[in-house]
Copies of this chain bind each other. A is one copy, B any other.
Amino acid sequence: MAQVEGKNRDRISRRQVDKFAERRAQLAASALQTLAELGYARTSLREIAQNSEFSHGVLHYYFRDKVELITYCVRQYKADCVTRYDRIVVSADSADELGRSFGEAMAATLRDDAPMHRLWYDLRNQGLFEESFRADVLDIDQSLERMIWRVVSHYAELSGSPPTVSSGIAYAVFDGLFQQALLRYLTGREESVDELRSNTEQLMGQLVSRR
């Protein structure tokens, strides 16, 4: 009897927890959309609520405060993009093909997800000023570094030569490349998509010793 009650309560509370988590995710999606549109400095809770189907008060029912909401958003963002290139790593049969696929994937996400990427750079920068985001930002940045390293090291394997740079350098270099392309793309220079593709391929070749 007590057990049944316990089970029921578990089932109920689990369902509630699920619904709770679901709504959190839904609100975080609205928040991410707003942030990607306006940037951190211009995003308010009321604006986020207007991009959802709820009123502004509900945000404090699901999140303690603004910091928790944005932290949650950053974590959700991470889940989306940290495995972006893993598919092409396993499916590539040669170094050249991997280079091409990687360049193509970089170009594609620049074209399709530009607002999200500018948000990421914005939030990473907030981490340089505000202590509260720092841990999550660093965590994501390390995940991205590992993601890039999976590509580079596999490229090195396929080409039979070791990488000539460390994991940190490789990430910094491709990140810098992407950021420049993003800057150009968001100011209307659509050719930067193609430039990013070829620059990525070229640089990949130079970061692995060929002979």
Please report A residues at the B interface, Cβ cutoff 8 Å.
Answer: 38-42, 118, 121-122, 124-130, 134, 138, 141, 164-166, 168-169, 171-177, 179-183, 186-187, 195, 199, 202-203, 206-207
Contacts and interface: CB of A to CB of B under 8 A. Distances in A.
A185 to B, nearest CB: 10
Contacts of A42: 129-130
A80 B43 CA distance: 32
Nearest to A203: B169
Given A128-B118, A182-B128, A172 B176 contact: yes
Nearest to A192: B168
B122 A187 contact: no
B118 A125 contact: yes
A129 B118 contact: yes
Contacts of A118: 125, 128-129
Copies of this chain in the oligomer: 2
Nearest to A200: B169
Given A39-B130, A166-B199, 18 more contacts: A38-B129, A42-B129, A42-B130, A118-B128, A121-B121, A122-B125, A124-B183, A128-B183, A141-B183, A164-B206, A168-B195, A169-B203, A172-B173, A172-B181, A172-B199, A173-B173, A173-B203, A176-B176
Contact of A129 (B122, B168, B180, B207): B122
A171 B180 contact: yes
A126 B173 contact: no
A67 to B, nearest CB: 13
A84 to B, nearest CB: 18
A121 B126 CA distance: 10
A122 to B, nearest CB: 5
Contacts of A39: 125-126, 128-130
A168 B199 CA distance: 9
23 contacts: A39-B125, A39-B128, A39-B130, A41-B41, A42-B129, A42-B130, A125-B125, A127-B183, A128-B183, A138-B183, A138-B187, A164-B206, A168-B180, A169-B177, A169-B199, A169-B203, A171-B180, A172-B176, A172-B179, A173-B176, A173-B203, A175-B180, A179-B179
